[in-house]
């Protein structure tokens, strides 16, 4: 059995709350590692916070995601190697699950053990660890506690359990999201599903930070998932969700939503704009609002009839979705001041990765000087059209 398989077996057999203890033992035996620490990103995407092993001395303190070698590995999603001139070296290895960035594994070992093969093995083990953490979250609260820089509100707890995560990556696309407040809830809805043929995506604007708003979002998202898993297209998903919300609230609670499906091989889109969040498209030149055929919000009236709009997305396109009260278009053409701020914010992310774009857009909107929504969700979709990008080699401290 090779080294990777040995460590993978250890992770699979370890109790959920003992993953790091098992990993430390196996890394010591298989690689000669004298230390291993796991840093998980907090809910606000600002800190890398150490998981405390059950039996180990105190590890590192929380650190910024924007500085230091751990922050660099997290941001670039590439291994970063520190030291090597002396007797010891440290490998900083991104821990992620299909593009959803979880944190960084930090491994200390003798310099003469840190070969290219070892770096590749450790990077693969960090990826295994990400998948093991995703399963372990169902069985223990250890890792969820670690990710809290402060307490979550009850609606915030509900929303984090409801949404699928912050990212999803495939050959044809990169999908990344960020929302504030991270530790409370705006009731926003976000979901996706990937099959061999299509990417299905839903983004909806929340109705407030209270528990009732999350209950509305919970009902809506589960209705969408129910319809999607029954094989219904985006029109069927909108219709069933509309019925579920109206049946429960009689038109008193509605949800402004955007339901989209993308054919993975052609970029053909089907869109139902049910009073949706704003969509901005960047295609070479300056970003522009992606005007859609707006229909009634979900749950407003009984038996609303929805129709799909057919469009196409091209390789190289970037779509930025913005869910907040001020982003929604109105009969008078929307909030023009906010639109100008949005255009500047998106223009400022040119050259940034899709992973960094949503947070930077939120930051810019928070600082542009006008009235800013309290609850804000930004989603970035980069469409590659099946082109696979080459992976850069591991970065070194002296580069």
CATH code of residue 341: 3.60.40.10
Quote the mean pLDDT of the chain.
89
86-96 mean pLDDT: 94
Cβ-contact 358, 144 below 8 angstroms: no
Q: Report which of 310, 315, 322 is spatially closest to residue 284, judged by C-alpha positions.
A: 315
98 three-class SS: coil
Q: Is 90 exceeded by the pLDDT of residue 83?
A: no
CA dihedral for 358, 364, 367, 370, sign (positive or negative): negative
Question: Which has the minimum average pLDDT: 138-142, 148-152, 287-291?
Answer: 287-291
Question: Which has the minimum average pLDDT: 77-81, 84-88, 107-111?
Answer: 84-88
CA triple 237-247-242, angle to 5 deg: 25
Q: Is 70 exceeded by the pLDDT of residue 397?
A: no
d(CA 103, CA 71): 9
User: Same domain for 133 and 173?
Assistant: no
Q: Is 80 exceeded by the pLDDT of residue 326?
A: no
165-182 mean pLDDT: 94
User: Same domain for 77 and 201?
Assistant: no
User: Same domain for 267 and 309?
Assistant: yes
127-134 mean pLDDT: 96
d(CA 99, CA 327): 27
d(CA 17, CA 15): 6
User: Same domain for 102 and 165?
Assistant: no
Q: Convert the pLDDT of each residue in 340-394 to its tens digit.
A: 888 899 999 988 999 999 999 998 888 876 556 678 899 999 999 864 433 444 5
User: Same domain for 74 and 207?
Assistant: no
Q: Where are the beta strands (DSSP E) in the chain?
A: 35-41, 47-50, 63-64, 80-83, 88-97, 100-110, 167-169, 173-180, 189-194, 198-205, 256-263, 268-274, 278-282, 288-289, 294-295, 309-312, 318-323, 376-383, 395-396
Say what the pLDDT of residue 57 is.
53
Confidence of residue 295 (pLDDT cuts 50, 70, 90): very high
274-283 mean pLDDT: 90
User: Same domain for 62 and 208?
Assistant: no
Find all residues with CB under 8 Å of 28, minimum gap 6, and list them: 34, 36
d(CA 337, CA 51): 44
Boundary-marking domain end, from 124, 146, 168: 146
State both tokens at 129. 């660890």
Place of tokens 């960035």: 101
Q: Is 80 exceeded by the pLDDT of residue 256?
A: yes
Q: Convert the pLDDT of each residue in 30-65 to its tens digit.
A: 999 999 999 999 999 999 999 985 444 555 688 899
Q: Is 80 exceeded by the pLDDT of residue 283?
A: yes
| Residue 98, φ and ψ in degrees, nearest 5 | 50, 45
Q: Higher confidence at residue 183 or residue 393?
A: 183
* Crossing angle for the helix pair 19-31 and 116-136, to the nearest 10 degrees: 160
Q: Report which of 95, 104, 47, 75 is spatially closest to residue 354, judged by C-alpha positions.
A: 75
Q: Is 70 exceeded by the pLDDT of residue 80?
A: yes
User: Same domain for 127 and 160?
Assistant: no
- Domains held by the chain: number: 2
CATH code of the domain containing 53: 3.30.450.40
Note whether residue 332 is domain-resident: yes
d(CA 273, CA 52): 46
113-142 mean pLDDT: 95
Say what the pLDDT of residue 108 is.
95
Place of tokens 């990710």: 147
d(CA 146, CA 367): 29
User: Same domain for 215 and 313?
Assistant: yes
Say what the pLDDT of residue 389 is.
39
Say what the pLDDT of residue 333 is.
52
Boundary-marking domain end, from 94, 121, 146: 146
Confidence of residue 100 (pLDDT cuts 50, 70, 90): very high
Q: Report which of 113, 189, 186 is spatially closest to residue 155, judged by C-alpha positions.
A: 186
Q: Report which of 159, 163, 145, 48 is spatially closest to residue 106, judged by C-alpha positions.
A: 48
d(CA 351, CA 374): 27
Q: Where are the beta strands (DSSP E) in 1-130?
A: 35-41, 47-50, 63-64, 80-83, 88-97, 100-110
Q: Convert the pLDDT of each residue in 199-247 to its tens digit.
A: 999 999 887 778 888 999 999 999 999 999 999 999 999 999 999 999 9
Domain region containing 124: 3-146
């Amino acid at each position: 059995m090779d080294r990777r398989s040995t460590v993978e077996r250890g992770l699979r057999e370890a109790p959920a709350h003992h993953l790091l203890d098992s990993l430390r033992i196996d890394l010591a035996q298989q690689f000669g590692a004298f230390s291993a620490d796991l840093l998980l990103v907090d809910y606000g995407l600002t800190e890398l916070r150490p998981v405390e092993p059950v039996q180990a001395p105190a590890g590192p303190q929380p650190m910024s995601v924007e500085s230091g070698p751990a922050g660099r590995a997290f941001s670039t999603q590439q291994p970063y190697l520190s030291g090597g001139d002396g007797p010891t070296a440290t490998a900083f290895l991104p821990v992620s699950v299909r593009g959803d960035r979880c944190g960084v594994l930090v491994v200390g070992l003798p310099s003469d053990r840190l070969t290219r093969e070892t770096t590749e093995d450790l990077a693969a083990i960090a990826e295994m660890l990400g998948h093991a953490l995703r399963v372990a979250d169902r069985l223990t609260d250890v890792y969820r506690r670690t990710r809290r820089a402060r307490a979550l509100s009850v609606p915030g707890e509900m929303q984090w359990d409801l949404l699928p995560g912050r990212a999803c990556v495939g050959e044809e696309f990169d999908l990344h999201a960020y929302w504030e407040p991270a530790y409370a809830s705006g009731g926003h809805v976000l979901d996706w599903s990937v099959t061999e043929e299509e990417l299905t995506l839903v983004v909806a604007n929340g109705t407030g930070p209270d528990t009732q708003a999350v209950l509305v979002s919970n009902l809506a998202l589960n209705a969408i998932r129910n319809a999607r898993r029954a094989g219904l297209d985006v029109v069927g998903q909108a219709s069933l969700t509309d019925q579920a919300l109206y049946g429960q609230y009689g038109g008193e609670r509605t949800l402004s939503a955007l339901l989209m499906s993308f054919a993975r091989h052609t970029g053909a889109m089907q869109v139902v704009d049910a009073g949706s969040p704003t969509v901005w498209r960047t295609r070479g030149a300056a970003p522009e609002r992606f005007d859609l055929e707006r229909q009634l919000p979900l749950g407003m009236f009984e038996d609303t009839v929805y129709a799909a709009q057919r469009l196409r997305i091209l390789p190289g396109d970037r779509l930025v979705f913005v869910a907040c009260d001020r982003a929604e278009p109105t009969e008078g053409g929307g909030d023009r001041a906010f639109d100008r701020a949005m255009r500047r914010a998106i223009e400022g992310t040119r050259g940034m990765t899709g992973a960094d774009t949503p947070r930077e857009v939120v930051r810019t909107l928070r600082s542009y000087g006008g009235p800013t929504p309290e609850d804000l969700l930004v989603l970035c979709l980069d469409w590659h059209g099946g082109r696979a990008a080459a992976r850069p080699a591991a970065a070194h401290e002296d580069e």
